[in-house]
Amino acid sequence: MLAERSPDDWNDLLVKVGLDRDREAFSRLFAHFAPLIKGFLMKGNAIGPEQAEELAQETMIKVWRKAESFNRRKSAASTWIYTIARNCRIDWIRREARNRVDIDAQDIYELGEDNPSYSSLVRVRNKENILDNIGELPPEQLEVVTKIYFEGKSHSEVADELMLPLGTVKSRIRLALKRMQLKLVNEAQV
Amino acid sequence: MVSLHPDTGFLTEYSSGSLSPAQNISVSAHLHFCRECRDHVDCLDEIGGVLLEQIAPAPLGPDSFEQVLLKLEDTAPASIVATEPDVASDELIQLPKLVRRLLPGDTQWRRLSPSLAIARIPVGECRFELALHKIRPGGRAPTHDHKGLEITVVLQGSFSDDDGVYREGDFIVREPGDVHTPIATQNEMCICLSACEAPVRMVGPIKRLLNPFIRFKPV
């Protein structure tokens, strides 16, 4: 039956959507990513299944509309789609908070066309490092990382929730990043 | 050359979408100037990508894809630039696009001292308030301390205080209790973006009178 797809396949499909408006490619991306996005958004318990489904659809529509701007040198397809889902979540939170100021997350995160200064090789290695090591993180570090990424909680919100000092949360993040061997440009910051 | 950067904590919160709007905009304004941190954020985003790939999928309703296909027909390709209002007057034209977009069409500068004027940027949050600070060349802003966290990003020109000189793109975090007197560099107007957690309180006998002006309520 279906062979497992490699990340490169997802990149190719996304490029096809961007260049040729290829609906077949889009339907495959949808079948794979939409359920992941829905699962991702429901993780924090703040977003119910119906909302999550709507937001997953909204995310995929943006994927379709913005596919042209996908740059495989800068990010993997899954990462690029993650950033769109994250932005949809931010906008949803803003709407829920009845914030009437019209600032889309996309406006905040869009920094214009540019290529990273590192090569795509470095990017791929970074990603492999994350993949190899994320499963090895001690539970307390993984917990903090997932709370921040899945639930969109700030360090201080996580600290409140887990009843930990803020410094402990921050140092768990730092240790997790170190263990995932992210080759950060400015090592001094870690 | 940018020399002061947001720490990894800020960049992680930016990448994971957990900063408040005013903080998020401040980090974004820094990234406008800083290649290094943009690369850094790209790396951090990969964590989100990996986590997304590893999560247990939640099945969608049977018609979900058809519903989306219908909406694809409805929607024209994204045109982000078209809606951008050009509100920037000449002196603000060099600011990052995001900041120019955010400024209300009738930007009101409120003069707080002979050297300092402030224009608020509505972001609709309660915790932080966001504003542009403009210090005239060589001007000295009133000495003030901080009740809460203050993030300053230099957008144009430079300023100095007791601790050093800050240039375009620098991301300066002041902790509660820090007292300082920023002075703009002689030859150029200095414009900063400032996200303040709680009202900034001016110190000194006369400046105290100015406090009500700066203790504006968040929108």
- Across the interface, of A7, A116, A189, the residue whose CB is closest to B7 is A189
Closest listed residue to residue A21, CA positions, set A75, A81, A70, A64: A64
Backbone angles phi, psi at A137, to 5 degrees: -65, 140
Output the pTM of the full model.
0.87
For an interface test with B, give the residue of A19, A104, A109, A110 to mutate (most B CBs within 10 A). Answer: A109
Which residue of A lies nearest to B25 if distances are taken between CA atoms?
A108
Q: What is the pLDDT of residue A4?
A: 57
* Closest-CA residue to A63 (of B117, B186, B160, B65): B65
Which residues have CB under 8 Å from B63's CB, separation 6+? Answer: none
- The per-residue pLDDT for A98 is 77
| ipTM score of complex | 0.90
With beta carbons under 8 A apart, name residues in chain A contacting B52.
Answer: 33, 36-37, 40, 78-79, 81-82, 85
Shortest distance, CA B26 to any CA of chain A (angstroms): 9
Computed over its alpha carbons, how large is the radius of gyration of chain A? 18
Q: Which residues have a Cβ under 8 Å from the Cβ of A61 and sit 6 or more positions away?
A: B68, B71, B72, B75
Question: With an 8 Å Cβ cutoff, are A75 and B45 in contact?
Answer: yes
What integer pLDDT is reported at residue B82 of this predicted model?
42
For residue B13, pLDDT beyond 90? yes
Residue B161 contacts residue B141 (beta carbons within 8 Å): no
Cross-sheet strand order for the sheet of B179-180 = B179-180, B144-146, B200-202
Task: Find out whether B52 and A131 touch, Cβ atoms under 8 Å.
Answer: no
Residues of A whose CB is below 8 A from B5: 186, 189
- Please answer whether residues A56 and A82 qualify as being in contact, where contact means their C-beta atoms are separated by less than 8 angstroms: no
Q: Roughly how many angstroms between the first and final C-alpha of chain A, as a whole number?
A: 45
- How far apart are the CA of B181 and the nearest CA of chain A, in angstroms? 27
DSSP letter for each residue of B151-213:
EEEEEES-EEETTEEE-TT-EEEE-TT-EE--EE-TTS-EEEEEEESS-EEE-STTGGGGHHH
Mean pLDDT of chain B: 82
Percent of chain A whose predicted confidence (pLDDT) is above 90: 60
| Contacts (Cβ under 8 Å, ≥6 apart) of B70 | none
Give the CA radius of gyration of chain B.
20
- In this predicted model, what pLDDT tens digit does every residue of B43-102 receive, in sequence order? 899 999 999 999 999 999 999 999 999 888 765 555 444 444 444 456 677 788 888 888
- Residue A126: list chain B partners with CB under 8 A: 43, 46
State which residues of chain A have pLDDT below 50.
1-2, 186-190
Yes or no, beta carbons of B48 and A60 under 8 Å apart: no
User: What distance in Å separates residue A13's CA from the closest CA in chain B?
Assistant: 16
